Amino acid sequence: MNAAQPASTPAALPLAGITVVDLTRVLAGPACTQMLADLGARVIKVEQPGCGDDARAIGPFVEGVSAYFMSMNRNKESIALDLKDVQDRAIFERLLDSADILAENFRPGTLEKLGYSWEALRARYPRLIFASISGFGQTGPYHRQPAYDMVVQAMSGMMSVTGHGADAPCRVGVSIGDLAAGLYSVIGIQSALMRRMHTQRGERLDVSMLDCQVALLENAVARLEATGSVPNPIGTRHPSMAPFDAYTAQDGRFVIAVGNDSAFVRLCEVLELPALAHDARFATNSTRCEHQAQLKVLLEQRLQQAPRTHWIALLEESGVPTGLYQTVAEMVSHPQVQARHMLTTVITPTGQPLRVASNPLLNATGQSVVRRQPPALDADRAAILQELGM
């Protein structure tokens, strides 16, 4: 764990008392259930006997243990069950007797073939919230097609607005197709829990990775509809605000984000470029966007006369949004990241510590993020069976 954790008395976590039976694997589903676990839910991860979650075999590895798996499965228990085996099915159904949520991210139709359709589950477990995460959802012509993050980034148009040119397609540098679906699933599950307080009934949640990518294309869809022009990749700059980009100073890159005309005037004052504030090409945000290339050249001519820390200090003092361009290695040591406890440590089954991203929702609770280490495959079987009286 981080040496410096919040010192306040821990508050009760919001999902304490909620039980999740977790059939998910790899990323979208485990990201969802890890957040539920971080927020206090009991998450029982049901894995395939022998191999477990596919993520256990995905690198990088720390002493033979997948760092990929470790980063998405803290605070969970593990039991290995074969849902085609009669005895294991009995255990699974006993788990559902006391579960609030069943989460899965199989290809649509998989659980139905095993006898666990929504209709069957709803009849037997009327309060159960059944969350299904898939590439394309439970309906539509593509609903039975497999998908990974790359597929939905490409099909959604996300890749078409990412990078520096249409001739070199570029995916977002993290698996945003999976992570967005995981986050939307958490929102949906918590909304269903709230509704169940009034109705006493569970419901089916149908979360599509492709849908979630489309939902993230706020500006791109609006621009297409408003202007009729197809959005293209434009690198680091903003499509409708300027100057709003990465800039090169004497010793490296940093970003400046000017959101209105008054901030642009302050920027010109800081850079001692008063003529720019009165230049007709840059008088308003719309004209600055039209002439953003010329404006960037003029700004960088000045910015390259001093190191970026010099400019950042002046811009921060004047209230112009700015920040360092950092690598991941630089980010993990940044004082703001450290102060907000956004890194935590999990321990592999072999005792090796591994630093991972933390949960941004837990800063104010005073709770440690890691209350249970990521489980070895089937690690909790004996305790779970004893609890079930089996």
Could you give the residue numbers annotated as active site? 238
Beta sheet of 129-134, edge-to-edge order: 76-80, 42-47, 19-22, 101-104, 129-134, 204-208
Whether the CB-CB separation of 164 and 181 falls below 8 Å is answered with no
Listed as own residue / partner, the contacts of 241-247 with beta carbons closer than 8 Å and 24 or more positions apart are 241/285, 241/289, 242/285, 242/288, 242/289, 242/292, 242/295, 243/267, 243/288, 243/292, 243/295, 243/296, 243/299, 245/292, 245/296, 246/325, 247/296, 247/299, 247/300, 247/303
The one-letter amino acid code at 69 reads: F
Residue tagged 């971080």 (tokens): 38
CA distance 378 to 133: 23
- CA distances in angstroms from 179 to 20, 33, 85, 163, 218, listed in the order given: 19, 12, 32, 20, 17
Q: Is 252 left (phi over 0), alpha (psi -120 to 50) or beta?
A: left
What's the CA dihedral at 192, 197, 199, 205 to 10 degrees? Answer: 10
Nearest to 349 by CA among 372, 375, 370, 371: 375
